[in-house]
């Protein structure tokens, strides 16, 4: 089964440090954690809210594990590269969109399942029987389409497209 630590390490390559880009709908962000998510985490652990600029590495790890890794059920995926890609998609796109991309990729790989954005045993089962190489190719292609669709719906997001496409390909 897949491991969290290498998945987090690969995602953090794309997330960088502190940013407050006016085009980013997430607002103030550090290491990929938005201020809103950090506030939720602080409430969850019973700590006073602080500026995301001061987030610690252990908080980053805990947030990614509890808010993204566990809900995306990546530890149940057999192929580590697939888990890493699904986790990264969950971080960058949200759980529902990442699940839809995974479901579409399973279909592209010949294992037909419903594309409903609900991550259940059928989706995980299909992902685990797909050829990992084929599934990774399909995940990359579907991620690129997803990012292009975001820009088509909201052209202000075009400032991020090169990074998103590179992230999809990695």
Q: What is the pLDDT of residue 100?
A: 98
Query: Regarding predicted confidence, which is higher, 142 or 19?
Result: 142
pLDDT 10s digits, 125-148: 999 999 999 999 999 999 999 999
Q: What's the start-to-end Cα distance of the chain, in Å?
A: 21
Pairing relationship of beta strands 29-30 and 18-19 according to DSSP bridges: antiparallel
Name the band, by pLDDT with cuts 50, 70 and 90, for residue 16: confident
Measured CA to CA, the distance from residue 104 to residue 93 in angstroms comes to 15
The answer, as to whether pTM is greater than 0.75, is yes
Q: Please give the mean pLDDT across all residues of the chain.
A: 94
Domain 4-169 has CATH 1.20.141.10: yes
Q: What is the pLDDT of residue 83?
A: 97
Half-sphere exposure of 42 (CA within 13 A, CB side): 16
Q: How far is CA 135 from CA 14, 77, 82, 92, 106, in A?
A: 21, 12, 7, 19, 6
Where exactly are the structural domains of the chain?
4-169
pLDDT 10s digits, 99-134: 999 999 999 999 999 999 999 999 999 999 999 999
Q: What is the pLDDT of residue 55?
A: 96
Name the band, by pLDDT with cuts 50, 70 and 90, for residue 68: very high
The 10 Å CB-count burial string (b at 16+, else e) for 113-138 is bebebebeeebbebbbebebeebbeb
Q: Which two tokens stand for residue 119?
A: 């991550």
């Amino acid at each position: 089964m897949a491991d969290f630590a290498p998945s987090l390490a690969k995602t953090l390559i794309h997330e960088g440090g502190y940013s407050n880009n006016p085009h980013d709908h997430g607002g103030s962000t550090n290491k990929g954690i938005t201020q809103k998510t950090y506030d939720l985490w602080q409430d969850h652990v019973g700590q006073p809210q602080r500026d995301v600029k001061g987030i610690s590495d252990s908080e980053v790890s805990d947030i990614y594990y509890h808010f993204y890794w566990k809900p995306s059920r990546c530890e149940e995926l057999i192929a580590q590269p697939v888990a890493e890609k699904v986790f990264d998609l969950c971080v960058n796109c949200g759980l529902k969109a990442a699940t839809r991309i995974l479901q579409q990729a399973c279909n592209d790989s010949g294992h037909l399942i419903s594309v409903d954005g609900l991550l259940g045993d059928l989706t995980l089962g299909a992902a685990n029987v797909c050829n990992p190489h084929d599934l990774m190719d399909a995940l990359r292609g579907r991620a690129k389409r997803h990012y292009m669709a975001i820009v088509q719906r909201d052209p202000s997001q075009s400032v991020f497209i090169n990074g998103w496409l590179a992230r999809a390909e990695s």
